[in-house]
C-alpha cells in the first residue's frame, strides 16, 4: 500500500510475541492497536531516530478471534465457520519515534460472508493456497477472496490491513511526507 501511495520506507519485521498480547486482551480493537504499537516500538529499538510505522489486523466472528491458519485444513475449517456469518476485520496502525508512540488509529469493517459450499471452499483453496494462508481471514480482497462476500461495510484499505488514508494524514501532519 505504501508503495502505491508513493511513500518511501524500508521494511523491518518485529520480533514481538503476538500470542502473549492476544492472551492478555479480548477486544479486537485493543488487540490490533496494541499489536501495531508494540511492533513499531520493537522496531524503533533498532532505528532510534526514525519514524516507524506498525500495523496489525484482527478477525473476529461472533466474538471468536481468529489467527492465520496453520495449514490448509485449518483454513478450510475457518472458511466453513465464516460461512453465512459476519466477519469483523479490525486494522490498526501506529507511528512511533524514539521509543514513544506518537499516533495510533483503529478502524473496523464488517464483511458479510455468503453461504460457502464445501465445493466452493475446496476450489477456492485450490486456486488461492498458500497465499491466503498468510492472511488472518483466509482471503485477499484484491484477489478471488472478494467472492466470499455478499456485502462489505468499511474502508477498502482497512480491509487490506492498514487504515491508509488516516495514516497518510498523520504522516503529513508530522511533515514526514509533503502536504
- Residue 151: CB atoms within 10 A of its CB come to 10
Q: The C-alpha cell of 78 is what?
A: 475457518
Q: Provide the H-helix boundaries in 97-173.
A: 118-128, 156-160, 164-173
| Other beta carbons less than 10 A from residue 138's beta carbon | 28
What is the rounded average pLDDT of the residues 6-21?
93
Give the model confidence (pLDDT) of 80-104 as tens digits: 999 999 999 999 999 999 999 999 9
> Count of alpha carbons within 13 Å of 71, Cβ hemisphere only?
1
The set of cell numbers assigned to 164 is 491508509
Residues making up the chain, counted from first to last:
179
Q: What is the pLDDT of residues 102-156, one digit of tens each?
A: 999 999 999 999 999 999 999 999 999 999 999 999 999 999 999 999 999 999 9
Helix (H, G, I), strand (E, B) or coil at 58: strand
Q: Return the pLDDT at 48.
A: 80
Adjacent-strand bridge partners of 57:
91
Q: Which of 42, 48, 50, 56 is catalytic?
A: 56
Query: Cell for 141?
Result: 480482497
Topology of the domain comprising 2-173? Maf protein (3.90.950)
Whole-number Å distance between alpha carbons of 55 and 103: 12
Please give the average per-residue pLDDT across 30-50, as a whole number.
Answer: 95
Cis peptide before 172 (omega within 30 of 0): no
pLDDT of residue 107: 98
pTM of the entire structure?
Answer: 0.94
Q: What is the pLDDT of residues 16-29, one digit of tens each?
A: 999 999 999 999 99
Predicted local confidence at residue 49, as pLDDT: 86
Whole-number pLDDT of residue 136:
93
User: Catalytic annotation on 56?
Assistant: yes
pLDDT band at 2 (very low <50, low <70, confident <90, very high): very high
Domain boundaries, the chain: 2-173
- Do 16 and 56 meet the contact criterion of CB atoms below 8 Å apart? no
Amino acid at each position: 500500500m505504501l508503495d502505491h501511495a508513493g511513500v518511501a520506507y524500508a521494511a523491518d519485521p518485529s520480533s514481538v510475541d503476538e500470542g502473549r498480547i492476544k492472551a492478555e486482551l479480548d477486544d479486537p480493537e485493543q488487540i490490533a492497536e496494541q499489536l501495531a504499537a508494540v511492533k513499531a516500538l520493537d522496531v524503533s529499538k533498532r532505528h532510534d531516530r526514525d519514524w516507524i510505522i506498525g500495523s496489525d489486523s484482527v478477525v473476529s466472528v461472533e466474538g471468536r478471534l481468529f489467527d492465520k491458519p496453520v495449514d490448509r485444513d485449518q483454513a478450510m475449517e475457518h472458511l466453513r465457520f465464516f460461512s453465512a456469518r459476519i466477519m469483523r476485520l479490525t486494522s490498526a496502525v501506529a507511528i512511533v519515534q524514539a521509543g514513544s508512540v506518537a499516533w495510533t488509529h483503529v478502524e473496523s469493517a464488517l464483511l458479510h460472508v455468503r453461504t460457502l459450499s464445501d465445493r466452493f471452499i475446496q476450489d477456492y483453496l485450490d486456486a488461492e493456497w498458500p497465499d491466503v494462508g498468510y492472511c488472518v481471514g483466509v482471503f485477499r480482497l484484491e484477489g478471488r477472496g472478494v467472492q466470499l462476500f455478499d456485502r462489505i461495510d468499511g474502508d477498502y484499505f482497512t480491509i487490506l490491513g492498514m487504515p491508509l488514508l488516516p495514516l497518510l494524514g498523520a504522516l503529513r501532519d508530522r511533515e514526514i511526507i509533503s502536504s
